[in-house]
Amino acid sequence: MVGDSMIHLRNVTRTYSSGSGVVRALDGISLDIPAGGFVTVTGPSGCGKSTLLNLLGGLDRPTSGEILVDGIPLHSAGERALTSYRRNTLGIVFQFFNLLPAMTVRENVELPLLLRGESARKAAPRVDEMLDLVGLSARSGHFPHQLSGGEMQRTAIARALAGCPRLLLADEPTGNLDSANAARVCETLLKIASQKIAVLVIVTHSESVAAMASARIRMLDGKIIPHNNGPAGG
Ligand SMILES: Nc1ncnc2c1ncn2[C@@H]1O[C@H](COP(=O)(O)OP(=O)(O)OP(=O)(O)O)[C@@H](O)[C@H]1O
Ligand SMILES: [Mg+2]
């Protein structure tokens, strides 16, 4: 780790080349987030929020710059190290859920534990606990196409939490939920975060979610907007 940072970004750039030119999805981002934080990322559509989360999740690499999470250099790590990072350190709730369509709710939630080498039998109590936590015990045998949008989202959250990750990344985790379920999900994430997760990073458009954060990152056009409190900038 760099200092006491759980997450350390230095001059991170991610560009995409397309027919019409180069898009600077992230444009020289530097950031330090200490362990124990609940961080929200806000900003208009297209400002680079999902791009940032993909980099933190080791799903994509920066065009230039440095990213260290829990001391692991994601910008230079090999595929094996990245796979191990995703399996052992990370939980991620994708913007569009990425549930596996041929697997039931229960199997989706169980999968990260099996990938880690746990037996289905050993994983079962944890899977039950997660399904109960998000209120989906009664839907555990359903396939994703048999779920509402909010139920898919809660399944994705249960899957992300199943492996007790040190870093939880969530892209609009309450975007498809009514306010009662959104509040419930946020309370759950915060409760778990305060117990076990070192850092929780949530992309949100919700002011009420952002208001709960220990630090807020505001983005515009691939850059972090400096402000008075929180870890942004630097
Ligand atoms: N694979 C890609 N190829 C080219 N451009 C891309 C690609 N992925 C993202 N972009 C561009 O990068 C910019 C940032 O995209 P990103 O998905 O990070 O935005 P976002 O802040 O998550 O937006 P939203 O709130 O709509 O989800 C956008 O202008 C987008 O068009
Ligand atoms: Mg996005």
pTM reported for the whole predicted model = 0.89
Q: Which atom of ligand 1 sits closest to the CA of residue 47?
A: 21
Distance CA 218, CA 220 (A): 7
* CB of residue 45 inside a 6 A radius of ligand 1: yes
Is residue 147's pLDDT more than 80? yes
Specify burial of residue 176 (Cβ count, 10 A radius: 0-12, 13-18, 19+): middle
- Please give the angle made by the CA atoms of 85, 87 and 92, to the nearest 5 degrees: 90
Q: Output the CA 77–ligand 2 centroid distance in Å.
A: 25
Q: Output the CA 16–ligand 1 centroid distance in Å.
A: 9
Distance CA 77, CA 177 (A): 36
Q: How many CB atoms are located within 10 Å of the residue 167 CB?
A: 22
Distance CA 9, CA 28 (A): 9
Q: What's the token pair of residue 49? A: 């929020």
pLDDT in tens, 18-77: 888 999 999 999 999 988 888 999 999 999 999 999 999 999 999 999 999 999 999 999
Instruction: For tokens 């030119």, name the residue.
Output: 21
Domain coordinates of the chain in residue numbers?
A: 37-60+79-224
61 phi and psi angles, rounded to 5 deg: -115, 150
Superfamily of domain 37-60+79-224 in CATH is P-loop containing nucleotide triphosphate hydrolases (3.40.50.300)
Q: Output the CA 26–ligand 1 centroid distance in Å.
A: 9
Instruction: For tokens 């709710």, name the residue.
Output: 105
Provide the pLDDT for residue 153.
87
Q: Output the CA 48–ligand 1 centroid distance in Å.
A: 6
Q: Across residues 68-92, what is the average pLDDT?
A: 94
Distance CA 158, CA 93 (A): 9
Crossing angle of the two packed helices 120-133 and 149-162, in degrees rounded to 10 = 130
Q: Output the CA 170–ligand 2 centroid distance in Å.
A: 10
Provide the pLDDT for residue 41.
95
Give the closest residue (by CA) to ligand 1 atom 6: 16
Kindly give the pairing relationship between strand 21-34 and strand 199-203: unpaired
Q: Which atom of ligand 1 sits closest to the CA of residue 219?
A: 21
6: enclosing H helix or E strand: strand 5-18
Q: Which atom of ligand 1 sits closest to the CA of residue 18?
A: 4
Q: What is the mean pLDDT of the chain?
A: 89
Closest CA relative to residue 205, chosen from 26, 57, 44, 25: 44
Residue type, position 120, single letter: A
Residue with the larger pLDDT of the pair 90 and 197: 90
Per the CB < 8 A criterion, the answer to whether 74 and 67 are in contact is: yes
- Judged by its nearest atom, the ligand closest to the C-alpha of residue 41 is 1
83-87, 179-183, 226-230 — which one is most confidently predicted on average?
83-87
- Judged by its nearest atom, the ligand closest to the C-alpha of residue 48 is 1
